Structure 1
């Protein structure tokens, strides 16, 4: 492992002691986590170490955002070498699916088999989680019949503009570029459209928006597995999908249907997010599993996919969504924010490991 790593990286030996380099190499060589199952060194490139103002800075490039985990690693390395350690990272995120939509590298669909499981709330917080982890993100509200993204972003009543009279300029909330039918028509008009009209409207929103350069575009899909969902899944060049569920049996059954829909249209499912997994008592911290326990993990195993994370039934999440704020923006290291950031890292990592040709898990095709 280390011999291969040294061959593709350079180190500033004059600035960092050999002892510290050796200790750091040994630590990183054995470090494993959910997003680094084969180790960080396996996927890191262009790594250097320098001393800057009595701080040891590790510079490297990685293929997906993971600021939160690198912060944790830096704290462990600080304790190991008894010097302040920090990472200076460049993320080289590449498209895993070819398409002709300018500015967007990867499109990730957030879906649910039924309504009421917190799909839109999770989509918004996933987008903000990816931003907090170090990348550029947009969100597209595909829920034509009941657009809720404008409210959740604090942009209700806002109207987009156009610089050239042809493409719509997306609105922005805390560095998140956003587009929704809710910015163009009021809720009452949006709910009475027929399926073909809704599909055409969504296609226009996607293709006629002047998106900035985005590493990921999160698409908040309408709930269900009907014609409109199938049409959108087929029309949009989605790289992968994330399915939202709760532990309740009826929600799990619909989540299974949702994964079957994506399988039908040959769209990879990156994993499952279990929302409302438990309620944590504010006084004693006890977890109460109000809607059941272990359902998300069970169906993930049955579908041969991953459980990307579990989220609590927390009044703060509901309050933030209603008032157009976000726990990640209010306190990026708070308990709820860290849960969303961990899920965001898992989503980005799975997109890389499952679908990126640079991934060490990608099979090599040898022609003899």
Structure 2
């Protein structure tokens, strides 16, 4: 198994954390009915723990509150809003949306924005933000993020890899430890918004971010999907995850909702919403559809170049969709 070597020294001695420190304070979704909880002294030892897949993990680790949570709270006390971008399935444009949301927020020079990439195995944010050649520097106060703009700070494991071709072959504990370092060791400074780009699914990274940010609070999640049922099916699981761990859901974004020809503005559905798309899902589960973003080939082109689509094509239907969605998110957070 290959290990990933970071080219810079970390402020703390290691990024490998006990897995128990990364478990959420809530009862895991696959836990037995009478689970004592991961912070209990009976974790992994109670009669109800027999046969639970988490038994050995819960029994091994230290119990009680994570001592790093107050450090994270202190580090993030100047971050006003924390927004998670989630998707149940990969390939729906979640990272592209995270980048677009960050570009849109930072278009206002008075708004300080941070973008944190916790997709450890598939870090695409450096490319999307035009920071593929950036590296991270350390000081006595911690890691300094890279900057796409003067008011747009970015952090990703992609900055720590010797090459973009290197695979991150890590198990959960090491991934969880790096996410913790992104929160407690990065010098984020004062931010109006922190956007967190997550990997698909509801696994280690998602549980870690909920656990580590529980004292600072997560203001809400935006769930990205495409119109077809195969994507909506996994978004339902993501919605269930958010409700189980207590993350407010700001709403749904339907990406690639239709193709609008850049020359004639004719609209065509590429992914047919056979079950009603995100609008119907929102009605079923009492969630707001924040907006639909059409397919525009120029989005992919600007992403590959690490440029802001909103700056390059401000009059396009897709750019207007982004602007409307950002405006609605700010309204729901009470910021507009």
TM-score strictly above 0.5? yes
Match of 1:143 in 2: 119
Q: Deviations over 1:326-347 (max 9, x none)?
A: 1123354544322211111111
Asked if 1:301 is matched to 2:278, the reply is no
Quote how far apart the aligned CAs of 1:283 are. Answer: 4.2
Match of 1:95 in 2: none
Return the alpha-carbon distance in structure 1 between the equivalents of residues 209 and 177 of structure 2. 10
Quote how far apart the aligned CAs of 1:131 are. Answer: 2.0
Return the alpha-carbon distance in structure 2 between the equivalents of residues 118 and 286 of structure 1. 22
1:176 pairs with one of 125, 149, 152: 152
Match of 1:284 in 2: 264
SS in 1 for 2:334: helix
1:219 pairs with one of 196, 213, 225: 196
Return the alpha-carbon distance in structure 1 between the equivalents of residues 315 and 147 of structure 2. 23
**Residues 232 and 278, structure 2, Cα contact 8 Å, conserved in 1:** yes
Quote how far apart the aligned CAs of 1:223 are. Answer: 0.9
Return the alpha-carbon distance in structure 1 between the equivalents of residues 314 and 73 of structure 2. 33
SS in 2 for 1:278: strand
2:187 pairs with one of 197, 210, 227: 210
**Residues 118 and 205, structure 2, Cα contact 8 Å, conserved in 1:** no
SS in 1 for 2:199: coil
Match of 2:240 in 1: 260
Q: Deviations over 1:241-271 (max 9, x none)?
A: 1100000101001111111101110110000
**Residues 273 and 309, structure 1, Cα contact 8 Å, conserved in 2:** yes
Tell me which stretches of 4 or more aligned residues in structure 1 moved more than 6 Å: none
SS in 1 for 2:122: coil
Q: Deviations over 1:182-210 (max 9, x none)?
A: 11124455521111110110110122111
SS in 2 for 1:108: strand
Quote how far apart the aligned CAs of 1:99 are. Answer: 4.3
1:341 pairs with one of 313, 323, 332: 323
1:241 pairs with one of 198, 221, 237: 221
SS in 1 for 2:329: helix
Aligned length: 256
Match of 1:321 in 2: 303
Match of 1:154 in 2: 130
**Residues 141 and 220, structure 1, Cα contact 8 Å, conserved in 2:** yes
More relative contact order in 1 or in 2 (CA 8 Å, sep 6+)? Answer: 2
Asked if 1:117 is matched to 2:92, the reply is yes
Return the alpha-carbon distance in structure 2 between the equivalents of residues 161 and 318 of structure 1. 30
Match of 2:168 in 1: 191
Quote how far apart the aligned CAs of 1:352 are. Answer: 2.4
Q: Deviations over 1:46-81 (max 9, x none)?
A: xxxxxxxxxxxxxxxxxxxxxxxxxxxxxxxxxxxx
After alignment, is 341-350 or 222-231 more displaced? 222-231
Would the alpha carbon gap of residues 219 and 190 (structure 1) be closer, same or farther in structure 2, given more than 3 Å must change? farther
Match of 1:24 in 2: none
Q: Deviations over 1:105-145 (max 9, x none)?
A: 11100010010000000001011112225522110001011
SS in 1 for 2:333: helix
SS in 2 for 1:340: helix
TM-score, with normalisation over the residues of structure 1? 0.66
